[in-house]
Every structure is written in C-alpha cells, then in structure tokens.
Amino acid sequence: MSRGKIVAAALAPHPPHLVYAENPPQNEPVSECGWENLRWAYERMRANLDKLDYDVIVILSPHWQTYVGTHFLGLDNFKSLSVDPVFPNLFRYHYDIDVDVELARAIHDEAAADGLAVKMMENPDFRVDYGTITSCHLTRPQWDKPIVCISSNRSRQYYSVEVMQEMTAQLGRATARAIEKSGKRALVLASNSLSHRHFVTESDIPEDMSKEHITSHHLYLWDMKMIELLRSGRTREAHDLMPEFTEQAMSETDGGGLTWLLAALDYPEYEAIVHGYGTIIGTGNAIIEWPCHAQEGGE
C-alpha cells in the first residue's frame, strides 16, 4: 500500500446563507440570489479540486461542539434533515452522508496514542451538524466522497486559545499521520469563518446584499492581516498570531479548525490560493486553498 497523503486542503467556511442562496434541491428554503462573491469563490475552488483524485474529505467543524474530548462520526451513513438552530429560515437541508469510518477510527487511535481524549460517535439517531454539511456541500456538492467528521473540542472555552492551539495542533499531526498510514488521498477542510461578530438583526429579505458588510473596520483589518499571512506562506506566523487574532476578531478559529489544518499540513510555506473573501451577516469569510499536490510535481 502506498503512503496516503493530503492532496489539498482548504479553509471552507460554512455559512448556511451560501447554500440558501444557491437553491440546491436538498435545501427547503428558496432564495433569489446572494453572496455571489463567496459562492463564485467556492466555484473556483471546486474547479481546482475537481481536477484532483482523492478518496475522502476530512473535516473539522466548529458546530459539532464537544467538551469531553474530540469526537468522530463512527457509523457508515447518516441520513436526515438538518435544520440550522440559528437560521432555520435559511437552512433545512436533507442530507445523506457516507462516512469513512475506517479512517475516522485511525485518526481517533492516533490521537488517543498522543494522549488526547477522543470518542467515536456511534448513535444512529445523531444529526450531523450544519457546519459540516454546508462546507462539504459547497466543496463537493456531488456528495460522492465519504467524509471523516471531527468535532470541535472547546478547549478554548475551558482553558485558553493557547491550550486550544496545542491540543488541535496535536490533533492535526495525528490526522496527518493517520492519513499517511491509511494509504488514502485526502482533502482536508477547516470549516470556519475568520472574524465572527454577527449582526443581531436580519434583513426582511435575508439575501438583501445592500445590508451586507463587515461588522466593524477593525475586524476587517484583522481578517486581512490573517489572510495575508496565509496566502504568502507565512503560516507559522499565522499560527503564532492565532491567539490574538481569535480574541480580537472574535474569530471562529476558536473552534480549532484552522490550527488543526495548518498543523496537518505541517505549516506550509508555499502560497495559498485565496479564492475570495466576503462577509455574511457581518462575519468575515475567506475561501482559501492549499494546493498540496502542486508541491510534489503536480497531479
């Protein structure tokens, strides 16, 4: 068996607004339009990823929040209706997801060996979180790849951003090792936005783009700072800045996704592709691809 590898990775935020605006058949609400800059950015990333051959999507979502360790979906298939608890008017999505339980357990075991608290989720009534569904839909709407779904351990809330960094970086390294040992080719997704201060009111027409902007200028500056570090390959600086960024920008990086991704990639120094940046109900969102395959002579 050849060694597995991460063929690409992406920062793939999960605002349900993007699915809502796209009107896929799985989603019940219907929209006119909206957030095209980000949806087109996802389109560009999909075009790149479609050229790659990969076996599995490995995703860490901040909307499966666990406080007792890190959890992994542990059954072959989950099929149900996901209703966003915050935006139920926008996201009521019928999903049918296959899980790569073998790889999930392999990552679980690697993480456990590193001393992390981990648990497999094997309750068939469990509903997959809408963050995972949204990011996977926007990245691979065909749903033809199994996923490994990893929960967001809320160590940032329990301890600090620094502790979160340590734990999720460890998880990232364990993830990379497990993928390598599995022989599989993986796409790795961190499902989180950047600055994360929402508006607390909603327009009568949610897709009214005349109302969409960043919540405040300082959050925009933070987002640009972080994006610049990522796109220019200064990912260790990004890692080091993460605690301050997370606190100052109230960033969804508090869920550990981006830290985990950078650690899994062993802090890439090559340029990332920023497909787009935009705001959704005031939060800052960037769609960024790390073309790992290109660093090995291309696909």
Q: Which long-range contacts (CB under 8 A, 24 or more apart) does 32-40 make?
A: 32/205, 32/207, 33/207, 33/209, 34/206, 34/207, 34/209, 35/207, 35/209, 35/212, 35/278, 35/280, 37/276, 37/277, 37/278, 38/13, 38/276, 38/277, 38/278, 38/280, 38/285, 38/287, 39/138, 40/276
State whether the Cα torsion 233-281-160-58 is positive or negative.
negative
Q: At what angle do helices 235-248 and 217-231 cross, to 10 degrees?
A: 160
Phi and psi at residue 66, to the nearest 5°: -120, 145
Among 46, 119, 173, 181, binds other proteins (CB under 8 A): 119
Number of shown-chain residues binding other proteins (CB under 8 A): 40
User: Cβ of residue 85: shortest distance to other proteins, in angstroms?
Assistant: 5
Which residue type, as a one-letter code, is found at position 140? Answer: R
Q: Does 157 bind other proteins (CB under 8 A)?
A: yes
Among 43, 55, 98, 202, binds other proteins (CB under 8 A): 202
User: Cβ of residue 281: shortest distance to other proteins, in angstroms?
Assistant: 8
- In the complex with other proteins, the residue whose CB is nearer, 153 or 235, is 153
Q: Does 66 bind other proteins (CB under 8 A)?
A: yes
Which residues contact residue 66 at a Cβ distance below 8 angstroms, ignoring those fewer than 6 apart? 119, 151, 152, 153, 154
Q: Does 86 bind other proteins (CB under 8 A)?
A: yes
- In the complex with other proteins, the residue whose CB is nearer, 92 or 225, is 92
233: which strand partners?
A: none
Among 43, 52, 69, 233, binds other proteins (CB under 8 A): 69
Q: Does 244 bind other proteins (CB under 8 A)?
A: no
Options 14-22, 81-89, 228-236, 264-272: segment touching other proteins (CB under 8 A) = 81-89
Joined together, the tokens standing for residue 287 give 């769609």
Among 32, 96, 122, 269, binds other proteins (CB under 8 A): 122
Options 18-26, 59-67, 96-104, 287-295: segment touching other proteins (CB under 8 A) = 59-67
Interface residue list for other proteins (CB under 8 A): 64-69, 71, 80-81, 83, 85-89, 92, 117, 119, 121-123, 125-127, 151, 153-155, 157-158, 198-203, 211, 213, 215, 282
